[in-house]
Amino acid sequence: NAGVTQTPKFQVLKTGQSMTLQCAQDMNHNSMYWYRQDPGMGLRLIYYSASEGTTDKGEVPNGYNVSRLNKREFSLRLESAAPSQTSVYFCASSGVGGVRVEQYFGPGTRLTVT
Protein backbone atom coordinates (compact mmCIF):
# COMPACT_ATOMS: atom_id res chain seq x y z
CA ASN A 1 0.00 0.00 0.00
CA ALA A 2 1.83 3.11 -1.27
CA GLY A 3 -0.36 5.71 0.52
CA VAL A 4 0.26 9.21 -0.89
CA THR A 5 2.86 9.49 -3.65
CA GLN A 6 4.32 12.66 -5.16
CA THR A 7 6.41 13.32 -8.24
CA PRO A 8 8.96 14.66 -8.76
CA LYS A 9 10.94 14.49 -5.52
CA PHE A 10 13.21 17.38 -6.49
CA GLN A 11 12.95 20.12 -9.11
CA VAL A 12 14.92 23.22 -10.04
CA LEU A 13 13.18 25.85 -12.16
CA LYS A 14 14.18 29.17 -13.56
CA THR A 15 12.01 32.21 -12.90
CA GLY A 16 9.09 32.24 -15.31
CA GLN A 17 9.11 28.53 -16.08
CA SER A 18 6.04 26.42 -15.44
CA MET A 19 5.62 22.97 -13.97
CA THR A 20 3.06 20.61 -12.53
CA LEU A 21 3.49 18.70 -9.30
CA GLN A 22 1.69 15.37 -9.29
CA CYS A 23 0.02 13.67 -6.35
CA ALA A 24 -1.83 10.38 -6.14
CA GLN A 25 -3.34 8.38 -3.29
CA ASP A 26 -4.45 4.77 -3.24
CA MET A 27 -6.50 4.86 -0.01
CA ASN A 28 -9.82 5.75 -1.70
CA HIS A 29 -9.83 9.05 0.16
CA ASN A 30 -12.33 11.74 -0.70
CA SER A 31 -10.34 14.83 0.23
CA MET A 32 -6.92 15.97 -0.94
CA TYR A 33 -4.71 18.94 -0.07
CA TRP A 34 -1.61 20.83 -1.13
CA TYR A 35 0.57 22.45 1.54
CA ARG A 36 3.87 24.27 1.37
CA GLN A 37 6.50 24.22 4.11
CA ASP A 38 8.90 27.10 4.56
CA PRO A 39 11.54 27.59 7.26
CA GLY A 40 10.13 29.54 10.18
CA MET A 41 6.61 29.54 8.69
CA GLY A 42 5.34 26.06 9.30
CA LEU A 43 3.04 24.35 6.82
CA ARG A 44 0.39 26.40 5.04
CA LEU A 45 -2.50 25.23 2.90
CA ILE A 46 -2.40 26.25 -0.76
CA TYR A 47 -5.51 24.50 -2.14
CA TYR A 48 -7.72 21.65 -1.17
CA SER A 49 -10.32 19.41 -2.78
CA ALA A 50 -13.03 18.28 -0.39
CA SER A 51 -14.33 15.76 -2.90
CA GLU A 52 -13.86 14.76 -6.52
CA GLY A 53 -14.94 17.62 -8.76
CA THR A 54 -14.44 20.41 -6.21
CA THR A 55 -11.46 22.60 -5.37
CA ASP A 56 -11.08 25.55 -3.01
CA LYS A 57 -8.42 28.07 -2.10
CA GLY A 58 -6.47 27.77 1.09
CA GLU A 59 -4.33 30.33 2.89
CA VAL A 60 -1.72 30.97 0.16
CA PRO A 61 -3.24 30.23 -3.30
CA ASN A 62 -1.67 33.06 -5.32
CA GLY A 63 0.53 31.84 -8.16
CA TYR A 64 -0.90 28.31 -8.16
CA ASN A 65 -3.65 26.35 -9.85
CA VAL A 66 -4.94 22.87 -9.11
CA SER A 67 -6.78 20.09 -10.87
CA ARG A 68 -8.60 17.20 -9.24
CA LEU A 69 -8.19 14.82 -12.14
CA ASN A 70 -10.13 11.98 -10.52
CA LYS A 71 -10.61 10.61 -7.05
CA ARG A 72 -6.99 9.44 -6.86
CA GLU A 73 -5.09 12.36 -8.34
CA PHE A 74 -4.66 16.03 -7.41
CA SER A 75 -2.12 18.14 -9.26
CA LEU A 76 -0.61 21.53 -8.46
CA ARG A 77 0.53 23.82 -11.28
CA LEU A 78 2.90 26.76 -11.16
CA GLU A 79 2.24 28.78 -14.31
CA SER A 80 5.14 31.23 -13.96
CA ALA A 81 7.49 30.25 -11.17
CA ALA A 82 8.94 32.91 -8.87
CA PRO A 83 11.78 32.65 -6.32
CA SER A 84 9.19 33.13 -3.55
CA GLN A 85 7.77 29.73 -4.54
CA THR A 86 10.97 27.97 -3.49
CA SER A 87 9.64 25.60 -0.87
CA VAL A 88 8.84 22.02 0.00
CA TYR A 89 5.42 21.01 -1.26
CA PHE A 90 3.38 18.32 0.46
CA CYS A 91 0.27 16.62 -0.77
CA ALA A 92 -2.10 15.07 1.76
CA SER A 93 -5.36 13.17 1.75
CA SER A 94 -8.08 12.30 4.23
CA GLY A 95 -10.64 9.56 4.06
CA VAL A 96 -14.18 8.59 4.81
CA GLY A 97 -15.69 11.50 6.66
CA GLY A 98 -14.08 13.96 4.32
CA VAL A 99 -11.99 16.88 5.44
CA ARG A 100 -12.48 16.40 9.16
CA VAL A 101 -10.57 13.25 9.73
CA GLU A 102 -6.93 12.24 9.91
CA GLN A 103 -4.72 13.57 7.14
CA TYR A 104 -1.96 11.47 5.56
CA PHE A 105 0.99 13.14 3.89
CA GLY A 106 3.20 12.31 0.95
CA PRO A 107 7.03 12.50 0.98
CA GLY A 108 7.17 16.00 -0.50
CA THR A 109 8.59 17.77 -3.55
CA ARG A 110 11.55 20.04 -2.95
CA LEU A 111 11.35 22.92 -5.41
CA THR A 112 13.99 25.57 -6.00
CA VAL A 113 13.27 28.55 -8.25
CA THR A 114 16.36 30.50 -9.33
Partner 1 sequence: KQEVTQIPAALSVPEGENLVLNCSFTDSAIYNLQWFRQDPGKGLTSLLLIQSSQREQTSGRLNASLDKSSGRSTLYIAASQPGDSATYLCAVLSNSGYALNFGKGTSLLVTP
Q: Which residues form the interface with partner 1 (CB under 8 A)?
A: 4, 31, 33, 35, 40-45, 48, 50, 56, 58-59, 90, 92, 99-108, 110
Min separation Cβ 68 and partner 1, Å: 14
Beta bridge partners of 105: 92
Residues 6 or more apart in contact with residue 25 via CB below 8 angstroms: 3, 4, 5, 32, 72, 91, 93, 104
Looking at the Cβ atoms of 35 and 74, the one nearer to partner 1 is 35
Looking at the Cβ atoms of 17 and 95, the one nearer to partner 1 is 95
